[in-house]
Amino acid sequence: MHRTLPFLLLALVPALGFAQSPSPPAASDAARALAQDAVIVDTHIDAPGMLTDRWMDLGVDAPGREFDYPKSRAGGLDVAFMSIYTSAKQDDDGTAWQAANEMIDSVEALAQRHPDRFALLRSPGDVDRLRAGNRVLLPLGMENGAPLGDDLANLQFFFDRGVRYITLAHSAANRIADSSYAAERRWNGLSPFGREVVAEMNRLGIMVDVSHVSDEAAREAIALSTVPVIASHSAFRHFTPGFERNISDELAKSIADRGGVVQIPFGTAFVDPQGAADTQAHFRAINEFHRKNAELRAAGKPAQDRAAFDAAWAEAHPAPSTPIDAVLDQIDYAVQLIGIDHVGIGSDFDGVGGELVDGLRTVADFPNLIDGLQARGYQEADIRKILGGNLLRVWAAIEAGAR
């Protein structure tokens, strides 16, 4: 399951007492009305990994989860991209394919269990028809191309299963691309296979997602793609200097120049400078942990305990308390830099261990985001673009490019 601190057990979060600030005042009636009327698209929700870890019926109230049907309807969420996340470890041990298919199965089971509440979504052209009757629509985004292995035909396989974007890499280099988190660069951009993957994604109509990858890999993917690309959940590096996981101004402009969209996340690790610094340090620390354990095993010595490492790290690095203004500032900056037509939202709900900005803690809280945008002077038409109109336009262009 994807997390900002991806190896930290979610169960540790409440026990360690991460800082919680009071939520902002309730959203206005106007904000709530717009949330219900607009098409809200969130390009990154990590519910599938949680479903395979421990099944919970998300068609009813699911305590402790940030996404479920009642919360979605309360917040006005219409299109929730389910993240099919696999880790670098699963890539290394050959289990990524199995894990990805199990997560897709779990999303299909959820829709089959509640056909009146959920529907699978495979094309932006089906949004209006399928969301009739207050359904929440569930397209799939694959976070980390590891399940593809080294077989280009697997793109067709996962397209047929409903995957409509692929984040090329995640926390480490894979067969496709380098990761922003890894100090070493295996490919210095995309691999030769990765270039083929981008071309085949264009042919099929799968969105190329450059969140998580290195600057060199993102730059190459944007240049090679014949259709717009997306950053499914990337904040702006302007606010977190040195944090390559967030997108640079240069790359954001390149995405916009080619018609794409940058989707802003809500996790403190992305929008808070201290959170970003801790996240970068954690990935380096965990890589060093794995290196040392490999040396210990090679020497016939017992390995260090992973759970103890995770607990100690979390206790030493509590998530900063961050106001909703941090997300609103990101949106303001993005609009000024790349234009209102190239900005959207990719929350990372259920993927960051509860480490979210105040006022945006579940999918029920989208009215708070709208309220904040209204307070900053955004007009309704532009708010609708940010909430989902831009992403749907880009998705339609990528689908048309495949045809």
Q: pLDDT tens across 305-340, in order?
A: 888 888 888 888 888 899 999 999 999 999 999 999
User: Does the pLDDT of residue 17 top 50, yes or no?
Assistant: no
DSSP for residue 322: -
Instruction: Supply 120's token pair.
Output: 């699978």
pLDDT at res. 23:
54
Q: pLDDT tens across 70-127, in order?
A: 999 999 999 999 999 999 999 999 999 999 999 999 999 999 999 999 999 999 999 9
- How far apart CA 116 and CA 18 sit, in angstroms, is 37
Instruction: Supply 364's token pair.
Output: 């029920």
User: Does the pLDDT of residue 20 top 70, yes or no?
Assistant: no
Element at 293 (helix H, strand E):
helix 273-298
The band of 205, judged by pLDDT with boundaries at 50, 70 and 90, is: very high
pLDDT at res. 10:
34
The band of 286, judged by pLDDT with boundaries at 50, 70 and 90, is: confident
User: Does the pLDDT of residue 8 top 70, yes or no?
Assistant: no
Percent of the chain at pLDDT above 90?
79
Contact 304, 293 (CB under 8 A): yes
3 state SS of 141: strand
Q: pLDDT tens across 249-261, in order?
A: 999 999 999 999 9
Lowest mean pLDDT among 48-62, 69-83, 149-163, 273-287: 273-287
pLDDT at res. 86:
97
Number of C-beta neighbours around residue 302 at 10 A: 8
Contact 124, 79 (CB under 8 A): no
Q: Which amino acid is at 100?
A: A
Q: pLDDT tens across 156-186, in order?
A: 999 999 999 999 999 999 999 999 998 889 9
- How far apart CA 232 and CA 195 sit, in angstroms, is 20
Percent of the chain at pLDDT above 70?
94
The per-residue pLDDT of the chain, averaged, comes to 92
pLDDT at res. 21:
44
pLDDT at res. 26:
86
Contact 307, 9 (CB under 8 A): yes
3 state SS of 267: strand
DSSP for residue 238: G
Tell me which architecture the domain covering 21-275+321-402 has in CATH. Answer: Alpha-Beta Barrel (3.20)
Q: Which residue has the higher pLDDT, 106 or 277?
A: 106
Of the candidates 163, 168, 359, 338, the one whose C-alpha atom is nearest the C-alpha of residue 263 is 338
Q: Which amino acid is at 210?
A: V
Q: What burial class does residue 402 get, using C-beta atoms within 10 Å of its C-beta: 0-12 exposed, 13-18 middle, 19+ buried?
A: middle
